[in-house]
Amino acid sequence: MKELIFATHNQNKVEEVKAVFNEYNINSLADVDYHTEIEETAKTFEGNALLKAKHIYDVFKTAVFADDSGLEVAELYGAPGVYSARFAGEEKNHKKNNAKLLEVLAEATNRKAQFKTVIAYVDANTTICFEGVVKGEIATELSGTGGFGYDPLFVPEGYNVTFGALPSEVKLKLSHRSRAIALLFEHLKSLT
């Protein structure tokens, strides 16, 4: 089975990817004993994904992919965007992020939003990015215990419940990360 490094310390993301694609052995940064945090200093999802993938490729010299994901809220002109994990502070606290989002949208009539993922793939011959987007809106209160991050607040288009309340297999089919991962693995299949 082919090996791929997923340049993340986020085990939720690793499980999501493994659930979508099982033709590769996916190793997280913990699996390859890399525990240093990679600073996300770019101003775009693509920039941060490339930064992480290139850094880990330089360390291990093997095929790697990285993602950067976030929530873009229309009323907030695309914020929190690349700062989604740190929306309420540097400690990356999901509960505080959700509470802050509800607070800043308390009077908002436009609750449209989208989740976006950009995946960067790097190997000896290729550097390429793939994007996945799912549109929806922000609920007025938390709902559901599934998923992570903003999932209890995000209602995808065509549904009347949040990602947090949807069965995990339904969320996986819809998710921005799954869409970007599907494009990545289509690309990888075309190389064989």
Catalytic residues: 68
- In sequence order, what DSSP letters do the residues of the chain get, joined into one string? -EEEEE----HHHHHHHHHH--SEEEE-TTTTT--PPPP---SSHHHHHHHHHHHHHHHH-S-EEEEEEEEEEGGGTT-BGGGGGGTT-TT--HHHHHHHHHHHTTT-S--EEEEEEEEEEE-SS-EEEEEEEEEEEE-SS---SSSSTTTTTEEETT-SS-TTTS-HHHHHHH-HHHHHHHHHHHHHHHH-
